[in-house]
Amino acid sequence: MADVILEVKNLTKHFKTKRGLLHAVDGVSFTLERGKTLGLVGESGCGKSTTGRTILRLIEPTAGETIFEGTDVNKLNASQLRHARKDMQLIFQDPYSSLDPRKTVSQIIAEPLQANKIFKTKEEIEARVEELMATVGLAPRLFNTYPHELDGGRRQRIGIARALAMDPKFIICDEPVSALDVSIQAQILNLLKELQEERGLSYIFITHDLSVVNHFSDDIAVMYLGKIVEKAPSEELFANPVHPYTQALLSAIPVPEIGEKRERIIIKGEITSPINPPDECRFYKRCNYACDKCKSLPELQEIKPGHFVACHRIGEI
């Protein structure tokens, strides 16, 4: 039996809007094993970030359970939740807006320690901040600098140090490298990977960049309009994508190699509205293989051990 740190069951978030009910996250279920990484992939508006925030209850879920180490996070009261969040952290996409511009680097990293009253004296806090800065590769002389004086990569390191301050077991990385240049992106990815190996961290890695997620994750879940359409171990997913959307998504990645031009599947149109979606396969209107069967919602089925697909036409296409 695998050591499961997080189990999400039927997580749902609907927002009320003037035009109807927006299905941001629509019955998402998955499990995450300790020390592993689950990649959550999809295009803008597919609900991947909302899923991450709903797990941490930064957004209150409409329905569903989030079982973290045996307790349902959705049933905790405010102070229990604050306690639970010591173990569950978030790294943000934008290293600019996620750091308070009026605070120095050390103040930012010290804040979780102060808020949770971990240490009694100022010296202990400072020592811990210095230790954290060393862990993420920030030079000690940056202690009193302000974020706006630093580049994106360093800022992202501050965000990581802040997330690590409470020694969490599980971190949601919400597009942690998409705002960074390639050479810096590689530095941060390597850092996250090393931290995982040293500390046995479990990650949910949210991204739209498929080549990054392939490199980083053990399992990948592909989301489309609030639903997981396909979920499999990374190698399996890249080798045998089954869902038509996954296939199109994978073929759309520009590969920095010449010569081997792969067949590109261009899907028609753009993402449809998540407001009051009809009870048909969410991909129905754009799918090249759509047929009458697809006018009902497909369920995730296991087609191989660990490989789940939600499509009515498995095996036919």
Among positions 199-258, residues that touch another protein (CB under 8 A) are: 208, 210-212, 214-216, 234-235, 238, 248-249, 251-258
- Whether the Cβ atoms of residue 25 and residue 51 lie closer than 8 Å to each other: yes
Rounded distance, CA 298 to CA 301, Å?
9
Q: Which is nearer to another protein, 270 or 316 (CB)?
A: 270
Which stretch in 7-15, 29-37, 78-86, 302-310 sits in contact with another protein by CB under 8 A?
A: 78-86
Q: Which is nearer to another protein, 1 or 78 (CB)?
A: 78
What minimum distance in Å lies between the beta carbon of 195 and another protein?
15
- Report the site for another protein in 81-110 (rule: CB under 8 A): 82-83, 85-86, 89-90, 92-94, 97-102
Q: In which order are the strands placed within the sheet that holds 4-17? A: 20-33, 4-17, 63-68, 71-72
Rounded distance, CA 138 to CA 265, Å?
43
Which stretch in 5-13, 53-61, 277-285, 306-314 sits in contact with another protein by CB under 8 A?
A: 53-61
- Report the site for another protein in 247-306 (rule: CB under 8 A): 248-249, 251-258, 264, 266-267, 270-271
Kind of pairing between the strands at 63-68 and 227-233: unpaired
- Report the site for another protein in 16-45 (rule: CB under 8 A): 43-44
Q: CA angle at residue 302 from 287 to 225, to 5 degrees?
A: 40
The contact mask relative to another protein for 172-191 (x = CB under 8 A, - = no) is: ---------xxxxxxx-xx-
Does 165 participate in binding another protein (rule CB under 8 A)? yes
**Which of 276, 275, 315, 282 shows the shortest CA–CA distance to 296?**
282
Does 112 participate in binding another protein (rule CB under 8 A)? yes
Q: CA angle at residue 92 from 45 to 20, to 5 degrees?
A: 30
Where do the DSSP E strands lie in 109-193?
170-174
The contact mask relative to another protein for 121-160 (x = CB under 8 A, - = no) is: ------------------x-xx-xxx-xxxxxx-----x-
Q: How far is CA 54 from CA 66, 90, 159, in A?
A: 9, 12, 20
Q: Which residues contact 80 (CB under 8 A, 6 or more apart)?
A: none
Does 314 participate in binding another protein (rule CB under 8 A)? no
Q: Which is nearer to another protein, 31 or 145 (CB)?
A: 145
Q: Which is nearer to another protein, 77 or 183 (CB)?
A: 183
